[in-house]
Chain A
């Protein structure tokens, strides 16, 4: 029997033609360390080789954009001398392998992307999706991910002020864990990921380098998932929020003192990335000495040192004259530091280990010459049939029972079980925290507030990725408008299946188009994002699940921002926005009552969207309650107001399809009679607050019963 040994490049996940490109670039066979570097840098996760040519579709420009896509985080100008930095990142595959540490290190990674820019991180948002909670495995994953985010976020000292929770069987073998971070900085503190000019010194800060997570993010996140994934377990990384907290404070002190030329975090692809990217960006070369790297384990090889994804490390580029001071700051904060390299003229990245040159490559080639694929695309053939089948509620539907079932759904019910495990109050900025439509953080010393909403909806995007993608943006915009903010910039996290399947590529490109069109219509630039492919298990892809994070600026912050717990006996209930159609395609009612996924979601209307967003933003300064209509439609939106305000309501409308419709651009407003006069063509009165029950046409739901269902939706499942 002959045993065939896979060539090294294939073991590292590289195709034969990618290997040939390396040979062509170098004009020779790569050395082992060089091959290691190309393999991680050219992985799907780091190179965006399947997605890059499509991401160019995003609109990225606006007068307030300071840094667009391409750096570690996007940066926008919010006035008064302040900038905001934002980015979103996924940790889907690591979180399936080890939910607690996978989620924790995801938080650590996104924080580094933001404080790399010179910003102090002030808020985190998590978007997490799992299979149904009646399966023990999913409860384990959900509980582990939430405790991982809590452990890391709380201890690192950055509040988690919002997010999203979803459940669907398509995520059972592949949960989604996305995290967004927002930071603020003074204009003159902006730092970029550049290596600077020849003579600049590279200082590695923070954790020691170990074998943990060798090729972790890049390999795990760049291939399909199957039972072999168990074998990849040694690549699990353990987060150390304490080290990261010290690293944040040390870096911020370096920025305030003006001691760095550039900074790059060490995330996926570790040292390979943190040397080649900054050098490539600056158009310089670099000499690196791996023997200077502080290590956790003895006898590490050069490829291991270059591929390790050990957490909580940063690379600072420093003028030679400032090195002493930089090391002192590191000492003060009790973090390790090591001078590991120096920038050289030219474009060659030379890496030495034990006195020998182990790599000598054009620095920019790792990023710039990465393969670029135009993968085939095909519209799923069954889509016409799916669109032709409108979901219809049964004529004998028990409306009250259906509303209670929706409120008891863990994706709709109260998120308190999750967000009360997160410190969401640190820094005294949280004016509107988790559990509301969007979050609102004040910017101290100004009248401004930063509003953020994150939104994803795999079901809508499965039915129509273009309309779905666009509707996410409009929904996020409405969510920041209800707290008085104007949409300003967007980051996106594109969670998709296997890009080698033409249907998945089609979904991807359609979603990008939908998000782009909506952003263009609102004048919102995309300033950064992330792509996560290969979210499939045993050949079955997840629903296409792009997630958007929208930053809005409230200027000024409303004196009393609308909240859903401020409805009072006798107030009027209005619906603002277009009259809904009876379409239930992709809605929560379709999922919970019918258990199907069919029909074509209603198209968004950019003109109406702009009108409603503008109107709502003004109302946010005067109206006590504003709540956007989303999951569960009008019925759930009003029930949530009643539950939070501990009061009943009467709605004349009794048609379940209209009450459960999730058609876009709609908001519920509650206010005293005559307090405001919303324009009649876009707003209509639909009911009155009062009593102890919610009455929808002929159906009556006791608020105490509704409250129970809503509050217990997650806890009763997690403690069963």
Chain B
């Protein structure tokens, strides 16, 4: 079971994601945003960073990268597609997830461990978690404030203390099928106790389990 970790110009969390997935026994490989064939992969992760410098709007330019055609195909086929932080922003811009991400309420970048509560376990990110379970993972974003005028989005994780003004205190959101998930805090940064938390493993395990055909 192989996971494609998509690298756009300006992405910076790709190596961390590969390390986290590998540490859990998964297999992850970097693919460049100009690649046009992901047929060897069973799922994809769009990692955090600043694709195209976040210029124009976060994720706005990245969603047109050639690789996105294949990301659409994977999403369509029901394969797990996870966007972390900037990846979440790209998936929203691409229309694979509802809503959009705007500047944090206090107009400041926020990097710190936050506590989130699992709200929905019927997604590729949370299938090994239980509803109401609380976990700690690091937030690291300026545009982490999710808005969804249609109010259709499925909230997967909720912040316990609202750090950024996100609608319904959403920290992670899924599409209707639950196979495409965007998460604002970084599970891959919480994989060892010496990093402050290893709770991110729970979410990444969920993702890895989802790679196998159901």
A155 and B50 contact, Cβ closer than 8 Å, known pairs A421-B109, A425-B140, A425-B189: yes
Bound-state Cα–Cα, A156 to B109, Å: 14
Check B195 against A424 for contact (C-beta < 8 Å).
no
Q: In chain B between 169 and 211, which residues have their CB closer than 8 angstroms to a CB of chain A?
A: 186, 188-189, 191-192, 194-195
Check A426 against B13 for contact (C-beta < 8 Å).
yes
Check B15 against A427 for contact (C-beta < 8 Å).
yes
Stretch of B52-60, B88-96, B120-128 on the interface side:
B52-60
A687 at the interface (CB under 8 A from B): no
By a CB distance below 8 angstroms, the chain B residues around A423 are 109, 111, 140
B31 at the interface (CB under 8 A from A): no
By a CB distance below 8 angstroms, the chain A residues around B188 are 428
Binary A-proximity of B1-25 (CB < 8 A = 1, otherwise 0): 0000000011011011001100000
By a CB distance below 8 angstroms, the chain A residues around B53 are 155, 240-243, 245
A425 and B9 contact, Cβ closer than 8 Å, known pairs A154-B50, A157-B50, A241-B50: no
Q: In chain A between 417 and 436, which residues have their CB closer than 8 angstroms to a CB of chain B?
A: 419-428, 430-431
Q: Nearest Cβ distance between residue B10 and chain A, in whole angstroms? A: 5
- Which of B9, B54, B192 lies at the interface centre, i.e. has the most chain A CB atoms within 10 A of its CB? B9
B83 at the interface (CB under 8 A from A): no
Bound-state Cα–Cα, A151 to B109, Å: 9
A20 at the interface (CB under 8 A from B): no
A328 at the interface (CB under 8 A from B): no
Check A421 against B189 for contact (C-beta < 8 Å).
no
Q: Nearest Cβ distance between residue A166 and chain B, in whole angstroms? A: 21
B110 at the interface (CB under 8 A from A): yes
Check A245 against B12 for contact (C-beta < 8 Å).
yes
B98 at the interface (CB under 8 A from A): no
Sorting the interface of chain B by its residue count into under 10, 10 to 19, 20 to 34 or 35 or more gives 20 to 34
Bound-state Cα–Cα, A151 to B142, Å: 9
A226 at the interface (CB under 8 A from B): no
Contacting residue for B9 out of A333, A422, A427, CB 8 A: A333
Q: Of all chain B residues, which has the CB nearest A442?
A: B194
Q: Of all chain A residues, which has the CB nearest B138?
A: A425
B152 at the interface (CB under 8 A from A): no
Bound-state Cα–Cα, A154 to B50, Å: 8
Q: Nearest Cβ distance between residue B143 and chain A, in whole angstroms? A: 12
Check A431 against B195 for contact (C-beta < 8 Å).
yes
Bound-state Cα–Cα, A427 to B13, Å: 7
Q: Of all chain A residues, which has the CB nearest B112?
A: A420
Contacting residue for A245 out of B10, B142, B191, CB 8 A: B10
A655 at the interface (CB under 8 A from B): no
B43 at the interface (CB under 8 A from A): no
Check B10 against A428 for contact (C-beta < 8 Å).
no
By a CB distance below 8 angstroms, the chain A residues around B195 are 425, 428, 430-431
- Which of B109, B111, B140, B186 lies at the interface centre, i.e. has the most chain A CB atoms within 10 A of its CB? B111
Check A155 against B140 for contact (C-beta < 8 Å).
no
Check B16 against A245 for contact (C-beta < 8 Å).
no
By a CB distance below 8 angstroms, the chain A residues around B186 are 425
Q: Nearest Cβ distance between residue B6 and chain A, in whole angstroms? A: 15
A150 at the interface (CB under 8 A from B): yes
A428 and B19 contact, Cβ closer than 8 Å, known pairs A155-B10, A420-B111: yes
Q: Nearest Cβ distance between residue B54 and chain A, in whole angstroms? A: 7
By a CB distance below 8 angstroms, the chain A residues around B189 are 425, 428
Bound-state Cα–Cα, A332 to B35, Å: 12
Bound-state Cα–Cα, A425 to B20, Å: 14
Contacting residue for A426 out of B12, B54, B110, CB 8 A: B12
A610 at the interface (CB under 8 A from B): no
- How many A residues touch B, CB cutoff 8 Å? 30
A334 at the interface (CB under 8 A from B): yes
Bound-state Cα–Cα, A427 to B189, Å: 8
Check B111 against A245 for contact (C-beta < 8 Å).
no
Q: Of all chain B residues, which has the CB nearest A159?
A: B111
A246 at the interface (CB under 8 A from B): yes
Q: In chain B between 137 and 152, which residues have their CB closer than 8 angstroms to a CB of chain A?
A: 138, 140, 142
Check B16 against A157 for contact (C-beta < 8 Å).
no
Q: Of all chain A residues, which has the CB nearest B14?
A: A157
By a CB distance below 8 angstroms, the chain B residues around A430 are 195
Check B52 against A242 for contact (C-beta < 8 Å).
yes
B212 at the interface (CB under 8 A from A): no
Q: Nearest Cβ distance between residue B69 and chain A, in whole angstroms? A: 19
By a CB distance below 8 angstroms, the chain A residues around B49 are 157
Bound-state Cα–Cα, A246 to B16, Å: 18
Bound-state Cα–Cα, A420 to B112, Å: 6
By a CB distance below 8 angstroms, the chain A residues around B50 are 154-155, 157, 241-242, 245
Contacting residue for A242 out of B9, B32, B109, CB 8 A: B9
Q: In chain A between 134 and 166, which residues have their CB closer than 8 angstroms to a CB of chain B?
A: 147, 150-151, 154-157
Check B109 against A150 for contact (C-beta < 8 Å).
yes
By a CB distance below 8 angstroms, the chain A residues around B16 are 426-428
Check A245 against B9 for contact (C-beta < 8 Å).
yes
Q: Nearest Cβ distance between residue A394 and chain B, in whole angstroms? A: 40
B108 at the interface (CB under 8 A from A): yes
Bound-state Cα–Cα, A245 to B15, Å: 14
Bound-state Cα–Cα, A156 to B53, Å: 8
Bound-state Cα–Cα, A426 to B13, Å: 7
By a CB distance below 8 angstroms, the chain A residues around B15 are 427
Bound-state Cα–Cα, A419 to B32, Å: 32
Bound-state Cα–Cα, A680 to B38, Å: 66
Bound-state Cα–Cα, A241 to B55, Å: 11
Bound-state Cα–Cα, A154 to B186, Å: 14
Bound-state Cα–Cα, A630 to B24, Å: 42
Q: Of all chain A residues, which has the CB nearest B32?
A: A332
By a CB distance below 8 angstroms, the chain B residues around A421 are 108-111
Bound-state Cα–Cα, A430 to B195, Å: 6
Contacting residue for B111 out of A157, A240, A243, A425, CB 8 A: A425
Bound-state Cα–Cα, A457 to B189, Å: 34
Check B194 against A431 for contact (C-beta < 8 Å).
yes
Show 18 residue pairs from A and B whose CB-CB distance is below 8 angstroms, ordered by the A residue.
A150-B109, A155-B53, A157-B12, A242-B54, A245-B10, A416-B112, A420-B109, A420-B112, A421-B109, A421-B111, A422-B109, A422-B111, A425-B111, A425-B189, A426-B12, A426-B16, A428-B19, A428-B191
Q: Taking A157-B12, A241-B53, A420-B109 as given, write out 12 further A-B residue pairs in contact, using a Cβ cutoff of 8 Å, ordered by the A residue number.
A: A150-B109, A155-B50, A155-B53, A242-B54, A246-B9, A332-B32, A420-B108, A422-B111, A423-B111, A428-B20, A428-B192, A442-B194
Closest 4 A-B residue pairs measured CB to CB? A242-B53, A157-B12, A155-B50, A421-B109
